[in-house]
Chain A
Amino acid sequence: MSPYRTIIGLEVHVQLLTRTKLFCGCSTKFGLPPNSATCPVCAGLPGALPVMNRMAFELALKAAMALNCQIASLTKWDRKNYFYPDLPKNYQISQYDLPFSKAGWLQIECPGGAKKIGIIRAHLEEDAGKMLHDEQGGGRDSLVDLNRTGVPLLEIVSQPDLRAPEEAKAYLEEMRLLLREIEVSDCEMQEGSLRCDANVNIHIPISPSPVASSFSREPTASADRIQPHGTPSALAAGSRLNVESTGAEGETFAATPIVEIKNLNSFRGVERALKYEAERQFQEYQQKLGSVWNVDPRSARNFAGSTVIPVQEKRNGSLVMVAKATAGWNEKRGVTEIQRRKEEAADYRYFPEPDLVPILIDSLMLEKARAGLGELPAAQRNRLQTEYGLSPYDASVLSSQGRAVVAYFEQTAGLSGDPKETSNWISNEVLQTLNDRKQQIREFAIPPASLAGLIQEVKSSGLNKQRAREVFAEMANSDATVKAALAKLGYQVVSDESQLREIVRRAVAANPKAVADFKKGKVKAADAIKGAVMRETKGMANTELVQRLLAEELDAV
């Protein structure tokens, strides 16, 4: 059990699947030669005017609906002003007070079951250019490539609802699956079409302690007095004073300052960085509490039903909140590196973008977006369970592979009449084969009808699993039907009862120890005898028949 709880919120940027940029007709293609896809709009030349890409807006709308967001009826664009060479016009066109969507959620699967993660907002904005810095620190000029400038991005900000690094990873995986399924973004992290910044802090429970009672009758107890030594009792004092205001859970927490982690290049990196950072914050908290940091119950606030007191720092005789910090994730060293504390709020001087007119979102636009969604992953997982009786795990394995694989499953299951076995074959052999061959399901050699045929053959002839896998491999290699593959491999299941009974009898007679063990109640001992039968028949005995005959013969001993 962790001595603290981790609070995570993610900010995700995804590139929308458009041919052209958000405000001009330049290409959004990845990997073009530097500065070959720019125009006066990208370069912010005087007189250049942006015009909104309809496709970008429609894709953004689709994504927001899939994220269960409230869609605004009127939305507008704003300038976010800052000076940096990656955006030569010195502002980014973004959305400030009237984003086109807000207040949604994304359902993710956690070990404890499904969980809804709140989405604060999703808005459209343009990407900035790419900077290449002198990595040697030799002070050489930085290089700017403006190809990426103006590429349409959807920024999706989650509520701080994620409670573990694993949940953050699950959220990203679900987000990627969802956005790929509805063809809003290809979410290729390596190509920057999905980027993630993670905000994290930890809540440490501060439990009431008898030592604290000396402060309990001083409602105006100063912060100085409740943090004299940085000992657990000082902590406890903080919580003791606050007992009245704690919620139903009755727990009070100290909260560390939020750290925003950047440079996260993979989902695994996100998980590792969050794990590292949460633990680092816990160490820092233990070191600084009492000496540098204080927990003053007067600044307690409510967080999701419990009482949380942010740590503060004593400066010039008064307590101030510790500012949020930015950290970079160093993948090689596996550590987060704190870059700076944001002492003052960034001053972007947002104001309405006069070069773009607002958008009124009418019911026609909404209907069009909704019609393009299709079945979303969470609903699909649910249906695979109720309609086909799959376990939540099996449903989620299939669903995570995308709609084409689910369609393949549904066709095969319909023909084989055995959804569970179909799911097993697809989750194991089919996906493994696709993975080995770097193939998509639509390129796969075995059509649903053939796989269904194999599943039925296994059922009716009692072909054992090992042999069935060989037949599967043959089918995948030669586009053969089940019959042809069986014939080619020379496999003929032995289902002749008298012939098999003879073999079973011999095997029983040859394994007296296994028989004796079985009679003593070791049911597993029968496996050795069954193994002998299978060896004798080169694995071609009808499994179910052997099972029955063996039971009868053992009874007769």
Chain B
Amino acid sequence: MALPLEHVRWVAHLARLDLTPAELEAMARDLGAIIEYVNQLQALHTDGVEPLAHALDLQNVFRADELAPSLTVDAALANAPARRGDFYAVPAVLD
């Protein structure tokens, strides 16, 4: 079942995606199908089963509080779309 269009529009907005009406329709259909597929899991009885916090059966992975070399400023800014001085330059954004 296709997702309601306003849901798709909202999620697209949150992901900063600008979708055409046709894309919205297609996305609503595809997302609906995906959700339906995943929804099969609802058939499982999970009473008394601990929620899973992580897919790996692994806990308490730490590193020591020790300095490691950082990138040079030039290396750090090498991929910046725009640079001013030693800063990334981005279009003025209002909070």
- List the interface of chain A (C-beta within 8 A of B): 18-20, 24-27, 33-40, 43, 45, 51-57, 74, 76, 81, 83-85, 98, 131-134, 139-146, 339, 347, 349, 352, 354, 356-360
In the complex, what distance in Å separates the CA atom of A40 from the CA atom of B65?
18
Contacts of B62 in A (CB 8 A): 51-54, 57
The answer to whether B54 and A19 have CB atoms under 8 Å apart is no
The answer to whether B60 and A139 have CB atoms under 8 Å apart is no
The answer to whether A141 and B59 have CB atoms under 8 Å apart is no
In the complex, what distance in Å separates the CA atom of A26 from the CA atom of B70?
6
**Could you say which of A37, A56, A142, A356 has the most chain B C-beta atoms within 10 Å of its C-beta?**
A142
Partner among B16, B55, B76 whose Cβ is within 8 Å of the Cβ of A35: B76
Residue of A nearest to B63 (CB): A51
Residue of A nearest to B59 (CB): A360
Contacts of A356 in B (CB 8 A): 61
Contacts of B70 in A (CB 8 A): 25-27, 36-39
The answer to whether B87 and A132 have CB atoms under 8 Å apart is yes
The answer to whether A33 and B73 have CB atoms under 8 Å apart is yes
In the complex, what distance in Å separates the CA atom of A27 from the CA atom of B70?
8
In the complex, what distance in Å separates the CA atom of A342 from the CA atom of B90?
25
The answer to whether A358 and B71 have CB atoms under 8 Å apart is no
In the complex, what distance in Å separates the CA atom of A3 from the CA atom of B74?
59
Partner among B16, B54, B76 whose Cβ is within 8 Å of the Cβ of A354: B54
In the complex, what distance in Å separates the CA atom of A37 from the CA atom of B76?
9
Contacts of A57 in B (CB 8 A): 62
Given contacts A26-B70, A85-B90, contact A357 B85 (CB under 8 A): no
Residue of B nearest to A85 (CB): B90
The answer to whether A35 and B54 have CB atoms under 8 Å apart is no
Partner among B16, B53, B68, B79 whose Cβ is within 8 Å of the Cβ of A25: B68
In the complex, what distance in Å separates the CA atom of A282 from the CA atom of B68?
53
The answer to whether A352 and B14 have CB atoms under 8 Å apart is no
- List the interface of chain B (C-beta within 8 A of A): 10, 14, 16, 53-56, 58-73, 76-77, 79, 82, 84-93, 95
List 17 other contacts, CB 8 Å, given A53-B63, A347-B10.
A25-B68, A34-B73, A36-B70, A39-B76, A52-B61, A56-B65, A74-B53, A76-B53, A141-B89, A141-B92, A142-B93, A143-B84, A146-B88, A349-B14, A354-B55, A357-B58, A358-B53
What would be 23 A-B contacts, judged by CB atoms less than 8 Å apart? Answer: A24-B68, A25-B69, A26-B68, A26-B70, A33-B73, A34-B73, A34-B85, A34-B87, A35-B76, A36-B73, A36-B76, A39-B70, A43-B79, A52-B62, A85-B88, A85-B90, A142-B90, A143-B87, A144-B89, A354-B54, A357-B58, A357-B59, A360-B60
Contacts of A347 in B (CB 8 A): 10, 14
Contacts of A359 in B (CB 8 A): 59-60
Contacts of A131 in B (CB 8 A): 93
The answer to whether A39 and B91 have CB atoms under 8 Å apart is no
The answer to whether B65 and A20 have CB atoms under 8 Å apart is yes
In the complex, what distance in Å separates the CA atom of A141 from the CA atom of B62?
38
Contacts of B56 in A (CB 8 A): 357
In the complex, what distance in Å separates the CA atom of A18 from the CA atom of B54?
27
Contacts of A74 in B (CB 8 A): 53
The answer to whether A141 and B76 have CB atoms under 8 Å apart is no
Query: How close is A184's CB to chain B, nearest CB, in angstroms?
Result: 14
Residue of B nearest to A17 (CB): B65
Residue of A nearest to B57 (CB): A357
Contacts of A360 in B (CB 8 A): 59-60
Contacts of B95 in A (CB 8 A): 339
The answer to whether A33 and B86 have CB atoms under 8 Å apart is yes
Partner among A38, A339, A352 whose Cβ is within 8 Å of the Cβ of B71: A38
Q: Nearest 6 CB-CB pairs, A to B?
A: A25-B68, A55-B65, A143-B87, A54-B62, A144-B88, A141-B89
Contacts of B55 in A (CB 8 A): 354
The answer to whether B53 and A144 have CB atoms under 8 Å apart is no
The answer to whether A38 and B76 have CB atoms under 8 Å apart is yes
The answer to whether A134 and B60 have CB atoms under 8 Å apart is no
Residue of B nearest to A347 (CB): B14
Query: How close is B73's CB to chain A, nearest CB, in angstroms?
Result: 5
Query: How close is A80's CB to chain B, nearest CB, in angstroms?
Result: 12
Residue of B nearest to A357 (CB): B58
In the complex, what distance in Å separates the CA atom of A171 from the CA atom of B66?
33
The answer to whether A141 and B60 have CB atoms under 8 Å apart is no
Contacts of A354 in B (CB 8 A): 54-55
Residue of B nearest to A358 (CB): B53
In the complex, what distance in Å separates the CA atom of A54 from the CA atom of B64?
6
The answer to whether A25 and B67 have CB atoms under 8 Å apart is yes
Given contacts A26-B70, A143-B84, contact A98 B91 (CB under 8 A): no
Query: How close is B20's CB to chain A, nearest CB, in angstroms?
Result: 21
**Could you say which of A56, A143, A347, A356 has the most chain B C-beta atoms within 10 Å of its C-beta?**
A143
Contacts of A349 in B (CB 8 A): 14
The answer to whether A358 and B63 have CB atoms under 8 Å apart is no
Contacts of A27 in B (CB 8 A): 67, 70
Query: How close is A141's CB to chain B, nearest CB, in angstroms?
Result: 4
